[in-house]
DNA sequence: CATGAATGAGAGTTCATTCAT
DNA sequence: TATGAATGAACTCTCATTCAT
């Protein structure tokens, strides 16, 4: 970012541009979301756009960062009430919250998720993965006596990404015949069963 | 495809172009893989490219289709020996084969997987998902007495996509500190545990 | 047109581009008048060309429209002084004016007329024909008692197009041994004789 | 033409290519009538096309030449029966024949006339004009005592081109509400009246 | 600071022409 | 002699970026 937004006005402009970027991608796909179009959607000139962002790439980065931060914040909001619950309830609660989140802002995030494959989207997953690692660490600390995990790094990687990536896959499909609560239920069940099994028959690796 | 390649030479050209497309994307990313660049990599002229493919998009489709077909074929090769095994062994076997596959062709597929987010990659997942659905159906028929699944559509969606998408995620990371057999083990364990649990406490949905 | 030219500068650009288009066609023929070439002649970049015109076709349309409009305006200028004269004088006056017009702008229009066959030039004739129809209608109204025309549509079509198309044909020839006033005289005589004859022996159709 | 067609086969090929050229232009317009397309329509390969014609331009020239020759031949066929008639009947007869000609060959020539403005079509008019000059000369010789023309070059130019160009203009319009016999009648009347008037009040020039 | 007209490199695509078979 | 796959220059058009106002 060229300028640190010192004034309210600047911050608003930055926000408007990021949101416009999201909206432009949602409408036209990444390839046809031009800087001019973004500027129009944001209600400013292209020149102004370049006063706050070095390049189109910087705009995209900022959008993905905001998306990551928003999703991470969402998790943090619920974390306290979820850390005490059992695995199934925790996963269930988190996924429900994510789904709810995706539908706000007039479906902007949903539309973005549908254009997921066009975004340099792994950045968001990276951030979320790191965040979820931390959440999981906290969760496991609280339930220390319940779980004995031989290879926590790999297990957490599989758990977190199975959930996130299946969610992305589900959201990427424009017309699925599956309801979101069916997906949430199955994912919750799967993770609960896996966590349960880890105690009974420890992982070999 | 504009011309049906009747001669060996033509088929070779088609293959060369598809491979060059893969290589160009792997090297420079989808956005900078221009038709001219692809033609140079394939050792032919742009004109030739357009004698065999209607557009750049058609080339990409062909590449993704070949990737899908190759991966589907890979599954089919192993299917007989895997259908009789238990869930864990089956998943383990399949994933091992996929990993092996990704490393041939001088790592082209691996590099493609790393650029996954730039591809219209859901096409491949679509095909693989459909293929895996069929494989799972066959598997469940053979082990009819072992599994009672209340909501097979949702369960299969979660099982298949958890595996595929986690795999993609793993392959997308250039430098993971996790070894591939750790991932395979965990995924195998998770699915085995899930399948097992379905009999004991049937899904609610 | 992509942008409505709000400022003087914009209108100048539009004009420069249209004129450059005319010049490019006059110099190299329609087939070799590329957008880049036109932009260079206009002293701007290709990008600017496409900010003011949607396509090369739109540029050509604009050129032809300007030509039509200019010629139509030319007719309107003289209309009052011509409507009262006899047929011969009217035709004579109009054609003289057209010839004069073709020689201004450093002979651009003359050169365009010589490349006539390469233009989608019927558009200009269409407009001029419609305009001339109206002029002729006014003329006939003023001389109502002189002419009784059985099939006015066909007669006007033949009168107008004989004049226009013969003029075009004459201008298309780079080196004619006929002087323009010879052509004007003959055309005037022919139309005068024809109009005269219509009263004496009405058309059969 | 690269080769003088020594054998029947060659002549057939040349003819087939010229006709295919006409058909391709009639179907797709000059700009989109590619050599490959022409070759396909002619039932030969592009390579063969280039054995008989140096370039696409040469093909177009040959087509226009054939068109000119065919039209000139048409005039010659009727010439004897027309030279003795009065001006009106002669013009009427000639135009009727031309219209009939345009409708043979499944309307190929008609379609070509509609694409007239895209052709380098003045070549045809050139040839026809020269031919018509000769015909008119013969006509005037036979009716020497009837017509006294002060400026025969200009008069013939206007007469011939008024007729030809108005005809072209009429044929160029896809949907005219005027019938062809209306056009023929008016043109005949006009020329007859003009010729008549030349005796009464000689041209001034 | 904001603007948006201007830029121009580079994209995808076409097609007249050639030449090894 | 006939073929048609291969060529590549040239085309139209886009859009991230700049800079005079």
| Mean predicted confidence (pLDDT) in A133-160 | 89
Distances (CA, A) of A61 to A26, A51, B117: 16, 16, 14
pTM: 0.87
Distances (CA, A) of A103 to A100, A177, C205: 5, 18, 74
Q: Considering only CB atoms, which chain C residues are within 8 Å of D178?
A: 153-154, 157
Chain D: partners with 3+ C-beta pairs within 8 Å: C
Reduce the secondary structure of D63-122 to three states and give it as a string: HHHHHHHHHHHHHHHHHHHHHCCCHHHHHHHHHHHHHHHHHCHHHHHHHHHHCHHHCCCH
The answer to whether residue A27 scores a pLDDT higher than 50 is yes
Distances (CA, A) of C43 to D28, D92, D166: 34, 53, 40
Most confidently predicted of A113-122, C67-76, C107-116: C67-76
Residue pair D71/D98 in contact by the 8 Å Cβ criterion? yes
For residue A15, what pLDDT band results from cuts at 50, 70 and 90?
very high
Per-residue confidence (pLDDT) for residue A105, from 0 to 100 = 79
Per-residue confidence (pLDDT) for residue C3, from 0 to 100 = 55
Nearest-angstrom CA–CA distance, B54 and B3:
9
Instruction: Write the pLDDT tens digit of every residue in C7-41.
Output: 556 888 999 999 999 999 988 888 889 999 999 99
- Which tokens hold the place of A43? 């209600």
The answer to whether residue A5 scores a pLDDT higher than 50 is no
Interior CA angle at C60 toward C167 and D60, to 5°?
Answer: 70
The answer to whether residue D203 scores a pLDDT higher than 50 is no
Per-residue confidence (pLDDT) for residue B9, from 0 to 100 = 60
For residue C200, what pLDDT band results from cuts at 50, 70 and 90?
confident
Nearest-angstrom CA–CA distance, B143 and B122:
30
Per cent of chain C over pLDDT 70 is: 93
Nearest-angstrom CA–CA distance, D117 and D114:
8
Residue pair C63/C36 in contact by the 8 Å Cβ criterion? no
Average pLDDT in chain D: 87
- Which tokens hold the place of D26? 């009639």
Per-residue confidence (pLDDT) for residue B45, from 0 to 100 = 95
- Which tokens hold the place of A116? 């997921």
Residue C8 burial by Cβ neighbours in a 10 Å radius (0-12, 13-18, 19+)? exposed
Largest Cα span, chain A? 62
A143–chain B nearest CA distance, Å: 20
For residue A148, what pLDDT band results from cuts at 50, 70 and 90?
confident
Per-residue confidence (pLDDT) for residue C81, from 0 to 100 = 87
Nearest CA in chain C to D186: C155
Nearest CA in chain A to B200: A193
Per-residue confidence (pLDDT) for residue A9, from 0 to 100 = 64
Per-residue confidence (pLDDT) for residue A8, from 0 to 100 = 60
B187 or D145, higher pLDDT: B187
Residue pair B90/B82 in contact by the 8 Å Cβ criterion? yes
Kindly provide the b/e burial profile for residues D54-71, where b requires at least 16 CB atoms within 10 angstroms of the residue's own CB: eebeebbbbbbebbbeeb
Determine whether the distance from the CB of D32 to the nearest atom of strand E is below 7 Å: yes
CB proximity A34 to B under 8 Å: no
Contacts of B98 by beta carbon, 8 Å cutoff, 6+ apart? B71, B74, B167
- Number of other CB atoms surrounding residue A52 within 10 Å: 22
For residue D178, what pLDDT band results from cuts at 50, 70 and 90?
very high
Average pLDDT in chain A: 87
Lowest-confidence segment of A53-57, B144-148, B177-181 by average pLDDT? B144-148
Instruction: Write the pLDDT tens digit of every residue in C130-166.
Output: 999 999 999 998 888 888 888 899 999 999 999 999 9
DSSP A18-85: HHHHHHHHHHHTGGG--HHHHHHHHTS-HHHHHHH-SSHHHHHHHHHHHHHHHHHHHHHHHHHHHHTS
| Mean predicted confidence (pLDDT) in C182-186 | 95
Task: Provide the terminal-to-terminal Cα distance of chain A, rounded to the nearest Å.
Answer: 44
| Mean predicted confidence (pLDDT) in C181-185 | 95
Per-residue confidence (pLDDT) for residue D1, from 0 to 100 = 46
Per-residue confidence (pLDDT) for residue C117, from 0 to 100 = 75
For tokens 């795999």, what's the residue? B167
Per-residue confidence (pLDDT) for residue B3, from 0 to 100 = 55
Per-residue confidence (pLDDT) for residue B176, from 0 to 100 = 87
| Mean predicted confidence (pLDDT) in C86-95 | 92
Q: Which of A157, A165, A186 is closest, CB to CB, to B165? A: A165
The answer to whether residue B7 scores a pLDDT higher than 60 is no
Reduce the secondary structure of A153-186 to three states and give it as a string: HHHHHHHHHHHHHHHHHHHHCCCCCCCHHHHHHH
| Mean predicted confidence (pLDDT) in B125-146 | 89
Q: Which of A181, A190, A197 is closest, CB to CB, to B158? A: A190
- Which tokens hold the place of C146? 């002189």
Q: Considering only CB atoms, which chain B residues are within 8 Å of A161?
A: 165-166, 169-170
For residue B5, what pLDDT band results from cuts at 50, 70 and 90?
very low
D187 or D171, higher pLDDT: D187
D114 or A135, higher pLDDT: A135
Instruction: State whether residue C25 is helix, strand or coil.
Output: helix
The answer to whether residue D148 scores a pLDDT higher than 90 is no
Per cent of chain A over pLDDT 70 is: 93
Count each helix (H run) and each strand (E run) in chain C, helices first.
9, 0
The answer to whether residue D201 scores a pLDDT higher than 60 is no
For residue B116, what pLDDT band results from cuts at 50, 70 and 90?
confident
Nearest-angstrom CA–CA distance, A155 and A139:
14
D204 or C138, higher pLDDT: C138
Region of residue C179 (left: phi > 0; alpha: psi -120 to 50; beta: else): beta
Residue pair C191/C132 in contact by the 8 Å Cβ criterion? no
Per-residue confidence (pLDDT) for residue B203, from 0 to 100 = 43
Pseudo-torsion of CA B136, B141, B144, B150, nearest 10°? 50
Per-residue confidence (pLDDT) for residue A7, from 0 to 100 = 59
| Mean predicted confidence (pLDDT) in D180-196 | 94
Q: Which of A153, A162, A203 is closest, CB to CB, to B185? A: A203
Contacts of D64 by beta carbon, 8 Å cutoff, 6+ apart? D119, D120, D121, D123, D124
CB proximity A121 to B under 8 Å: yes
- Number of other CB atoms surrounding residue A38 within 10 Å: 26
Contacts of D13 by beta carbon, 8 Å cutoff, 6+ apart? D5, D42, D44, D48, D52
The answer to whether residue A203 scores a pLDDT higher than 80 is no
Per-residue confidence (pLDDT) for residue C8, from 0 to 100 = 54
Per-residue confidence (pLDDT) for residue D144, from 0 to 100 = 83
Nearest-angstrom CA–CA distance, B117 and B64:
13
Residue C100 burial by Cβ neighbours in a 10 Å radius (0-12, 13-18, 19+)? exposed
The answer to whether residue A81 scores a pLDDT higher than 90 is no
Per-residue confidence (pLDDT) for residue B8, from 0 to 100 = 52
Which run of H or E residues covers position C52?
helix C46-52
Lowest-confidence segment of A22-31, A111-120, B69-78, C91-100 by average pLDDT? A111-120
Which residues in 36-65 of chain C line strand F, with CB less than 7 A from it?
A: 36-37, 46-47, 50-51, 55-57
Nearest-angstrom CA–CA distance, C166 and C113:
12
Residue pair C203/C151 in contact by the 8 Å Cβ criterion? yes
The answer to whether residue A145 scores a pLDDT higher than 50 is yes
Nucleotides of F under 7 A from a protein CB: 1-20
Distances (CA, A) of C182 to A33, C92, C95, C96, D161: 62, 11, 11, 11, 14
Per-residue confidence (pLDDT) for residue B96, from 0 to 100 = 92
Q: Considering only CB atoms, which chain D residues are within 8 Å of C151?
A: 182, 185-186
The answer to whether residue D116 scores a pLDDT higher than 60 is yes
Kindly provide the b/e burial profile for residues B127-164, where b requires at least 16 CB atoms within 10 angstroms of the residue's own CB: bbbebbbebbeebbeebeeeeebebbebbbbbbbbbbb
For residue C2, what pLDDT band results from cuts at 50, 70 and 90?
low
Interior CA angle at B76 toward B72 and B81, to 5°?
Answer: 145
- Which tokens hold the place of D81? 């029966």
Nearest CA in chain D to C149: D186
Average pLDDT in chain C: 87
φ, ψ of residue D60 in degrees (nearest 5): -60, -45
Nucleotide with minimal C1' distance from the CA of A46 is E4
Which run of H or E residues covers position C195?
helix C180-200
Per-residue confidence (pLDDT) for residue B205, from 0 to 100 = 42
Q: How far is the CA of D28 from the C1' of F5 (A)?
A: 24
Residue pair D91/D163 in contact by the 8 Å Cβ criterion? yes
Contacts of A113 by beta carbon, 8 Å cutoff, 6+ apart? A102, A168, A171, A172
- Number of other CB atoms surrounding residue A122 within 10 Å: 17
Which residues in chain C (149-178) have CB-CB distances under 8 A to chain D?
A: 151, 153-155, 157-159, 161-166, 168-170, 172, 177-178
């Amino acid at each position: 970012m060229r300028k640190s937004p010192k004034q309210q006005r600047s911050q608003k402009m930055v926000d408007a541009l990021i949101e416009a970027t999201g909206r432009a991608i949602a409408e036209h796909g990444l390839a046809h979301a031009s800087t001019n179009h973004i500027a129009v959607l944001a209600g400013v000139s292209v020149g102004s756009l370049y006063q706050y962002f070095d390049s189109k790439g910087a705009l995209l980065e900022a959008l993905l960062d905001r998306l990551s931060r928003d999703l991470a914040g969402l998790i943090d909001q619920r974390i306290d009430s979820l850390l005490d619950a059992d695995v199934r309830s925790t996963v269930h609660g988190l996924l429900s919250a994510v789904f709810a989140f995706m539908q706000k802002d007039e479906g902007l995030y949903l539309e973005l998720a549908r254009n997921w494959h066009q975004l340099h989207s792994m950045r968001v997953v990276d951030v979320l993965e790191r965040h979820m690692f931390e959440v999981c660490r906290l969760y496991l600390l609280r339930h220390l006596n319940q779980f004995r995990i031989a290879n926590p790094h790999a297990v957490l990687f599989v758990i977190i990404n199975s959930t996130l990536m299946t969610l992305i896959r589900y959201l990427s499909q424009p017309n699925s015949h599956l309801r979101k609560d069916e997906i949430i239920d199955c994912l919750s069940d799967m993770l609960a069963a896996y966590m349960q099994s880890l105690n009974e028959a420890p992982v070999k690796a």
